[in-house]
Amino acid sequence: MKKLRKKLMWAGIAILAVFALVYSKTDVTLAGNESTRFAVVQAVGEQSVFHIENTAFKTVDRVVRDGHIYSDKPLPIGWTLGMLYKIPHQIFGLNFTENYYLSVYLVNLFFSGLINILLFVWMFRMFCRIPCGNLYLKFFLALGMSSGTWLLSYSVTLNNHTPAALGVLGLYVALDKFRRIPSVLAATAAGLAAGMVAACDLPSGAVFAVAATAGIFLLAPVAARRKLTGCCIAVGLVVGAGMAALNFVAYGTVVPLYVAGESGTFGLASHESVWKYVFDCLIGTRGLFSYQPFLLLVFPAVFTLWKGSRIADRIMLAAAAVLIVLYLAITVEYGGWAYGFRYLIPVIPVLWYWSGRWVLQEPLNRRRLLPAGGLAAVGVAAALVGSYMPFCVSYEAMRSPQGHFTRKIQSTFVGNLLSWSFETNPDSMLTRALFQRYGAENCWRFLHASASNRKDPEFLRRVVEGIRLWSSGQ
287-303 tens-digit pLDDT: 999 999 999 999 999 99
Residues 27 and 104 sit within 8 Å (Cβ to Cβ): yes
Residue 266 has pLDDT above 50, yes or no: no
Q: In which band, very low, low, confident or very high, does the pLDDT at 256 lie, cut at 50, 70 and 90?
A: confident
CA distances from 238 to 140, 175, 188, 392 (A): 38, 19, 11, 36
| Distance separating alpha carbons of residues 89 and 102, to the nearest angstrom | 12
User: What pLDDT, in 10s, does the model give residues 15-64?
Assistant: 999 999 999 999 999 999 999 999 999 999 999 999 999 999 999 889 99
Residues 6+ apart with CB under 8 A from 186: 174, 175, 177, 178
Residue 368 has pLDDT above 70, yes or no: yes
Average pLDDT of span 94-107: 97
Give residue 409's pLDDT: 97
3-state SS of the chain is CHHHHHHHHHHHHHHHHHHHHHHCCCCCCCCCHHHHHHHHHHHHHHHCCCCCCCCCCCCCCEEEECCEEEECCCHHHHHHHHHHHHHHHHHHCCCCCCCHHHHHHHHHHHHHHHHHHHHHHHHHHHHHCCCCCCHHHHHHHHHHHHHCCHHHHHHHCCCCHHHHHHHHHHHHHHHHHHHHCCCHHHHHHHHHHHHHHHHHCHHHHHHHHHHHHHHHHHHCCHHHHHHHHHHHHHHHHHHHHHHHHHHHHHHCCCCCCCCCCCCCCCCCCCCCCHHHHHHHHHCCCCCHHHHCHHHHHHHHHHHHHCCCCCHHHHHHHHHHHHHHHHHHHHCCCCCCCCCCCHHHHHHHHHHHHHHHHHHHHCCCCHHHHHHHHHHHHHHHHHHHHHHHCCCCCCCCHHHCCCCCHHHCCCCHHHHHHHHHHHHHCCCCHHHHHHHHHHCHHHHHHHHHHHHHHHCCHHHHHHHHHHHHHHHCCC
pLDDT reported for residue 265: 46
**β-pair partners for 183:** none
pLDDT over threshold 90, residue 260: no
